[in-house]
């Protein structure tokens, strides 16, 4: 099979635990691009955050962000914009939750809003320079937003997931992007659905696509493409959900670079 596109998740996949793209993997990505293979980032992070990493690679490529709620073309023009309808934004923000236990977050286009700072948030985005704004999230109840997500300890998040999936699975797309992050988008939004739209523009078939991911927000994408790979550090739920997908090395071992070097014989 002649592959024309590589799609890659960011956190836990393309990025090391220091939130960087290793020099080795960056070099391999540049080499496959010279061979005519496109490289596309598909992430739960917002556009401006992901754009930093794309620009670091000096790529002119599409971007899928906010788990598919947004996509931009090579000219940074919006080609997909799917927001949570106001009635579900209000419902999500109206749950009576322990605000110290469950940290609420909102993406609205290129902005990230939180209610208070918690440990690790600045470090997580230090490389890209993308920063949050602290405000009262209840003021967003009266409008549509791009994405809402909750951060919590793993056991607490599992309890919240069970409750909210039961209440909202017919109304919203719900996914886990890490053991500590539960995410909500407009119903039907995920990386795969947005990738389908990008592939139509690029005139590339799913069978001509390689994809890498590490968490449940990558499940649909990995199920859709011709050649999927799961990271060795992936969420066990993802590995169990896709037992026939090859598991490669972890994100700190240049696993993506090594696999691409192997496939494209660089």
φ/ψ of 238, rounded to 5, equals -70, -45
Distance, in Å, from the CA atom of 222 to the CA atom of 212, rounded to the nearest integer, reads 7
Both ends of the chain: CA-CA distance in Å? 16
* Total length of the chain: 266
- Whole-angstrom CA distances from 128 to 50, 54, 118, 147 are 8, 10, 18, 20
Write out the DSSP string of 169-202. Answer: TTTEEEEEEETTEEEEEETT-SHHHHHHHHHHHH
Catalytic residue among 9, 11, 83, 218: 9
DSSP helix/strand/coil, 68: helix
DSSP helix/strand/coil, 254: coil
Question: Exposed, middle or buried by CB within 10 Å (0-12, 13-18, 19+), for 145?
Answer: buried
Report how far Cα 3 is from the mean position of its chain's Cα atoms.
Answer: 22
**Is 109 one of the annotated active-site residues of the chain?**
no
Q: Which of 43, 39, 58 is CA-nearest to residue 11?
A: 43
DSSP helix/strand/coil, 94: coil
Residues serving a catalytic function are: 9
């Amino acid at each position: 099979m002649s592959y024309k596109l590589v799609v890659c998740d960011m956190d836990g996949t393309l990025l090391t635990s220091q939130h960087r793209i290793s020099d080795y993997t960056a070099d391999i990505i540049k080499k496959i691009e010279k061979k005519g293979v496109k490289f596309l980032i598909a992430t739960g992070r917002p556009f401006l955050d992901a754009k930093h990493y794309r620009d670091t690679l000096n790529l002119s490529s599409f971007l899928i962000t906010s788990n598919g709620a947004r996509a931009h073309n090579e000219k940074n023009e919006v080609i997909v914009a799917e927001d949570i309808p106001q009635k579900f934004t209000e419902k999500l923000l109206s749950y009576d939750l322990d605000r110290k236990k469950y940290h609420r977050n909102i993406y609205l286009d290129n902005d990230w809003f939180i209610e208070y700072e918690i440990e690790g948030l600045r470090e997580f985005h230090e490389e890209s320079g993308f920063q949050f704004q602290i405000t009262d999230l209840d003021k967003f109840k009266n409008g549509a937003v791009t994405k809402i997500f909750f951060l919590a300890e793993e056991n607490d998040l599992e309890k919240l997931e069970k409750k909210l999936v039961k209440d909202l699975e017919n109304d919203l797309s719900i996914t886990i992007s890490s053991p500590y992050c539960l995410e909500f988008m407009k119903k039907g939004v995920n990386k795969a659905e947005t990738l389908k739209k990008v592939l139509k523009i690029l005139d590339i078939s799913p069978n001509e696509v390689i994809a890498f991911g590490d968490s449940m927000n990558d499940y649909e994408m990995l199920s859709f493409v011709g050649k999927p790979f799961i990271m060795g550090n992936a969420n066990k739920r993802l590995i169990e959900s896709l037992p026939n997908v090859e598991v490669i090395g972890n994100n700190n071992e240049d696993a993506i670079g090594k696999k691409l070097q192997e496939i494209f014989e660089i």
